[in-house]
Amino acid sequence: MARRTLAIGCGAGFSGDRWDAAGPVVDTLIERGGPAALIFETLAERTLAAAQLARRRDPEAGYEPALERFVAPVLARCVAHGIPIIGNFGAANPHAAARRLQALAGAQGLARLRVAVVEGDDLSDEQGRGALGEALEAVRGGRDLVAANAYQGADAIAGALRAGAQVVVTGRVADPSLAVGPALAHFGWHEGDWDAIARATMAGHLLECGAQVTGGYFADPGMKDVPDLAAVGFPIVEIEAGGDFVVTKAARTGGRVDARTVKEQLLYEIHDPAAYLTPDVVADITDAEVCALGDDRVAVTGVRGHPRPPMLKVTVCFDGGWLAEGEISYAGPNAEARARLAAEVIRSRAGAGLALRFDLAGVLSLFGDDHGRTLAECVPSDARDVRLRVAAAHCERVPLEHLMREVLALYTCGPAGGGGVRTSIVPRLATASCFVRRELAPARYMMLEAA
Amino acid sequence: MSAAPVRVPLHALAHGRSGDKGDRLNISVIAYDAALYPVLVEQVTEARVTGQFRHRRPTAVRRYLLPRLAAMNFVLDGVLDGGVNASLNLDAHGKSLAFLLLDMEIEVPAALAAGLGRSRVQQG
């Protein structure tokens, strides 16, 4: 059984992440030698539904649009050094993504790339909807279903790696499972090794948002300064046989890894710290400890694990109508009063059919609530550079088009000196969550034949 | 020592980050200095956080303590206007809301207040 420390690097923490982040991570994994893997996390809640819509338009689409931009810079080096790549960039069409990767490998002169596809998350078809049954109907409310995907765990990823996959393409899996998969394959942990699996899960949790653990999304000048944030390096974890791990980052990059960056990300999107639920384990970080070792290295210990839950979480996406946003700016003397008057004009012209939200960027635009309670209590402040924003949602586009025309008409019919009108109307997706018994949505991997 | 306590924003004593899942928001509050953690535990209560978010009408606010990290985790239900896919907020994720919590005022006992306001850029 392999017992050496396993290093896992992260090349992307979301679909919009930097394309040049993975290169220094792979350089570092190669320099340190030893067993390693690289993960890409590019699949947010709504990303998958958007991908499902793309696949309906084009049967070869529906995976991460920037797949090649993420993978091309590192594929050859990863293959040459035996570093498997695991990514949920398959989104709604992992088979098409896998074919694209094989084509990319061919174009780079890499013969017979072994690509595995993890399936079983997509419950959008008739059989999947049947497995969801009443749970789906309970959240559906008569809306059109766009996608239903179960959060799968690490087992199928680990199986694919043990079978020799050089790249594993998944759709929806729990984000930490991207890292738990290679840890299971490397250390040979079994169901029941809950502490070890929970530790690897928290390692994956710290990796999955990329730079958020290495100084990205952290800097607060004068309070929490980050060196060379523009060149922030992406994270690497070094996992030991018992699951305890050290967080560090790519060499010769900006950013920092210290106790504070690790604590912030450790608690990111956590609810009950004693029960962080994934398909692989229930992780308990109540007694976790974070110890800075210096040189951008932090040890995380004390994570415990409990048996994994019997149910898988399922994200269901529905058609969500339309979102309209219109903006106009006022500056100089009495700017805030003019912006507030413009809001009154819009409210009066829009009538009662739409629920409107108003913001005054420069005064109050983020902390306010959709019902306007915060803005109503916000005493006018004579701000001199204010951007009014009005937002509304509706199942039909036409009423929103009328609203946006009212924003545009502020140019001639509104208060003095308004400038910079922008309007947009975009389709929305609504999401809900339900659960399915794991045996009704089994995951499996399939090794693709080399092209 | 009978000097009056020093009033400072929580932002001077702690850092934190927001995370969202549906209409549920979590915000971590992590003490820069473990010696001040008991002050935070005493004052950054579920009731005060509920008050800080009163305009968003939370349906539940729950605090979890993580003393080994000198941290606490707040979980607020119903404060994201339905969540990222339903809210009309520019910041539909509520990512900025950690700084609404960090704007809360804290009274630091004078004996512990020495050294506050210094830049906190040293390695944590």
pLDDT digits (tens, 9 = 90+) for A235-272: 999 999 999 999 999 999 999 999 999 999 999 999 99
CB-based contact (8 Å) between A103 and chain B?
no
Contact A370 B87 (CB under 8 A): yes
Q: State what percent of residues in chain B have pLDDT above 70.
A: 91
CB-based contact (8 Å) between B63 and chain A?
no
Contact A259 B20 (CB under 8 A): no
Question: A137 or A64: which carries more pLDDT confidence?
Answer: A64
Q: To the nearest whole angstrom, how far is the Cα of B47 from the nearest Cα of chain A?
A: 18
Q: Which of residues 361 through 420 in chain A touch B, CB cutoff 8 A?
A: 365-370, 373-374, 377, 389, 391-393
CB-based contact (8 Å) between A435 and chain B?
no
Is the predicted pLDDT of residue A1 greater than 80, yes or no?
no
CA distance A192 to A187: 14
Write out the two tokens for B44. Answer: 């950054």
**Partner-chain residue, chosen from A294, A365, A428, that has the shortest CB–CB distance to B90:** A365
CB A197 within 8 A of CB A280: yes
Q: State what percent of residues in chain A have pLDDT above 90.
A: 91
Query: Which residues have CB under 8 Å from A130's CB, separation 6+?
Result: none
The pLDDT value given to residue A409: 98
Residue type at A29?
A: L
The per-type count for chain A, helices as H runs and strands as E runs, is 15, 18
DSSP summary character for residue A143: P
Residue type at A86?
A: I
What count of CB pairs under 8 Å joins A to B? 127
Q: Where are the beta strands (DSSP E) in A178-251?
A: 235-239, 245-249
The pLDDT value given to residue B2: 64
Contact B68 A217 (CB under 8 A): no
Average pLDDT for A338-346: 98
ipTM of this predicted structure:
0.95
Give the mean pLDDT of chain B: 91
By C-alpha distance, the chain A residue nearest B56 is: A369
Rounded to 10 degrees, the C-alpha dihedral A284/B18/B100/B78 comes to: -80
Average pLDDT for B48-59: 97
CB B53 within 8 A of CB A398: no
Q: Which of residues 242 through 261 in chain A touch B, CB cutoff 8 A?
A: 258-261
CB-based contact (8 Å) between A217 and chain B?
yes
Contact A389 B24 (CB under 8 A): no
**Partner-chain residue, chosen from B28, B75, B121, that has the shortest CB–CB distance to A264:** B28
The pLDDT value given to residue A450: 64
**Partner-chain residue, chosen from A286, A368, A428, that has the shortest CB–CB distance to B66:** A286
Contact A290 B69 (CB under 8 A): yes
By C-alpha distance, the chain B residue nearest A298 is: B124
Query: Number of C-alpha atoms within 13 angstroms, CB side, residue B66?
Result: 28
Torsion A132-A133-A136-A138 (CA) sign: negative
Within 8 A of A373 by CB-CB distance, chain B residues are 55
Is the predicted pLDDT of residue A57 greater than 80, yes or no?
yes
A413 membership: H or E segment, kind and range: helix A410-413
What are the percentages of helix, strand and coil residues in chain B, rounded to 5? 30, 30, 40
**Partner-chain residue, chosen from B24, B89, B124, that has the shortest CB–CB distance to A370:** B89
Within 8 A of A261 by CB-CB distance, chain B residues are 124
CA distance A287 to A197: 16
Query: Which residues have CB under 8 Å from B111's CB, separation 6+?
Result: B1, B3
Per-residue pLDDT band at A449 (split at 50, 70, 90): confident
Question: A53 or A367: which carries more pLDDT confidence?
Answer: A367
The pLDDT value given to residue A3: 72
What's the start-to-end Cα distance of chain B, in Å?
29
Average pLDDT for A80-84: 98
Average pLDDT for A183-188: 98
Rounded to 10 degrees, the C-alpha dihedral A116/A120/A122/A126 comes to: 130
Cα separations (Å) of A18 from A40, A158, A208, A283, A340? Answer: 11, 27, 14, 30, 39
The pLDDT value given to residue A106: 96
**Partner-chain residue, chosen from A267, A268, A391, that has the shortest CB–CB distance to B88:** A391
Within 8 A of A302 by CB-CB distance, chain B residues are 68
Q: B64 - beta bridge partners?
A: B73
Within 8 A of A374 by CB-CB distance, chain B residues are 55
Per-residue pLDDT band at B85 (split at 50, 70, 90): confident
**Partner-chain residue, chosen from A223, A367, A429, that has the shortest CB–CB distance to B120:** A223
Write out the two tokens for A412. Answer: 């001639």
CB-based contact (8 Å) between A285 and chain B?
yes
Is the predicted pLDDT of residue A50 greater than 90, yes or no?
no
Choose from A296, A316, A366, A390 for mutation: most chain B CBs within 10 A.
A366
**Partner-chain residue, chosen from B66, B75, B81, that has the shortest CB–CB distance to A369:** B81
